[in-house]
Structure 1
């Protein structure tokens, strides 16, 4: 965010002192016949009160001008583009002080789901649910998303916080299924410890399908909420929803013994996972170009001005 906000900002105390000094000079220069309002030889209380209010209003306006002179005001469109979160007023200036964690979270997600999509498609002999990148699911997908989500929490971005932390936990849980020490797959085998036998059992396939199905329900809610951000983010959630539904359907079909239909559904889920990753790469490019103040910016299809928030329509809550 250092490219968006100027670091040369004035402190509140400095602004107050400058405002007082400037306004005193302004008042002293006024051609008043008397510093005390008098009407017909009597002290005019109403005029004095009006003069005091005018001084306070001028002073506050001057302070605001000084405090904002060193920074660039961020529009709602730019905010949701950078944070993938509708803009809301929060206390403090953490957003101007610390970096934007959103690109890091997005990178962790796309570097996990894109290779997984290729594995599910079986390209170049890939397979086994991406077991070769189990470490990536933990340290790239899990750690980066959780870290970014926690930082979004402190910045006051609730939607981004929920999305990133949720999917950080998702990738950690998915890695746990693949790690032999958890015995998530082997527990379904006749011997109770064989991943080779457990992965083809009805119990494992149906259980995994239910897990993916309820994740799909959660993503529907996130998809609806993303309509307040931009078209690119909506497209990412749309592809992700399709991925989860296709995989859940595929594993349900496999558990019922419909191997051909089930395998085709799983491959369809892999294709949608790949599409999710590609959309994510585009958003990541957009965010990184904005972070370095690149000479041109790419569009994301802002929706914040189309779907107005409740408070924007009905006014801020008192």
Structure 2
């Protein structure tokens, strides 16, 4: 009987130890969940997502990674070479036709995919921004691709298709596209006043870029040969402005990557979340 009692006590102790180990494991997992559920500050959220923090249902932001840096990679890797082309550095030119692949895959594909992911996470502002710029780069790349016949349609029958680039119809039409991209950036600039200074500067310099591009195509539409020099100067100014845009994009991307791995050094992006109070705070 004593032996049986001892066996029962040992079994009870073993079960107790097993249960304690299981409870410790559950407590440990709970601590991990608690750490992961700590609400980040508005400043950190806007640095990571370049969008004001909004309340959404579910925990998708805790389940999936942050897609925003993917879009920024696509943006800067498409725009930076284009800006150098427009400025004509080291003999570059041709309106960036050599980077058509970068416009499709970096500027277009990555940003459109990220726009969809941002939409799933409930980040409306960044979703719209990335989707629209992804569409811009896809459009720009398609315009430079001969098979889309964007410029060959304007060429006179029997002439080389490239002569369509010199026509009034093509340059005036494409100039309007640049004009309304600039208008879109005005809307984004106003919205970015609730995000950070880097984003404000990105859209401000993009407005300048699209303004110069609009002027370059419009003067070519007026007189392609006579205004060629003026158009070249406007394109160079657009490239310089786009290069400044790229610089702010690279800085923002670097700041995001450091924050994403909890690096001990952080780069400031000029948080503006407290400058303009949200409408919901007045309710």
Which residue pairs with 1:264 in the alignment?
A: 233
Give me the whole-angstrom Cα distance separating, in 2, the residues matched to 1:311 and 1:100.
25
Calculate the TM-score normalised by the size of structure 2.
0.85
Measured after TM superposition, the shift of residue 260 of structure 1 is 2.2
Q: 1:121 aligns with which of 73, 83, 87?
A: 87
TM-score, normalization by structure 1: 0.76
Query: In structure 1, which of residues 139, 149, 161 is the aligned counterpart of residue 105 of structure 2?
Result: 139
Q: Identify if the C-alpha distance between structure 1 residues 169 and 66 changes in structure 2 by more than 3 Å, giving closer, same or farther.
A: closer
Q: Distance in 2 between matches of 1:282 and 1:217?
A: 25
| Offset, 1:196 | 2.4
Partner of 1:10: none
1:310 is aligned to 279
Tell me the CA shift for residue 70 of structure 1.
5.2
- Secondary structure of the 1:103 match is helix
Measured in 2, the distance between the counterparts of 1:204 and 1:126 equals 23
Quote the offset at 1:68 in angstroms.
4.0
Q: Which structure 1 residue ranges, 5 or more long, are not aligned? A: 1-13, 19-64
- Give how far 1:93 is off: 0.4
Counterparts of 1:6-21 in structure 2, within 5 Å, are: none
Match of 1:276 in 2: 245
SS at match of 2:238: helix
Equivalent residue runs for 1:103-182 within 5 Å = 103-182=69-148
2:167 to 201, 209, 227: 201
For 2:264, what is the secondary structure of its paired residue?
coil
Question: Which residue number in structure 2 is paired with residue 212 of structure 1?
Answer: 178
For the residue of structure 2 that corresponds to 1:199, the secondary structure is: helix
- SS of 1:264 mapped into structure 2: helix
In structure 1, the residue corresponding to 2:187 is in which secondary structure?
helix
Shift of 1:72: 2.9
Given that residues 103 and 288 in structure 1 are in contact (C-alpha distance below 8 angstroms), is that contact kept between their aligned partners in structure 2? yes
Matches within 5 A, 1:76-115: 76-115=42-81
Q: How does 1:55-74 map to 2 (within 5 A)?
A: 68=34, 71-74=37-40
Equivalent pairs counted in the alignment come to: 253
Q: Which has the larger radius of gyration?
A: 1
Q: 2:36–2:62: 8 Å Cα contact kept in structure 1? A: no
SS in 2 for 1:273: helix
Q: Which residue of 1 aligns with 2:255?
A: 286
**Which residue, 270, 273, 281 being the options, matches 1:301?**
270
Residues 106-164 of structure 1, C-alpha deviations (whole Å, 9 max, x = no match): 11011111111111111111111111111111011110001111000110000011001
Does residue 255 of structure 1 match 2:224?
no
Instruction: Tell me by how many angstroms 1:224 deviates.
Output: 0.5
Deviates more, 1:173-182 or 1:67-76: 67-76
Post-superposition offset of 1:274:
1.2
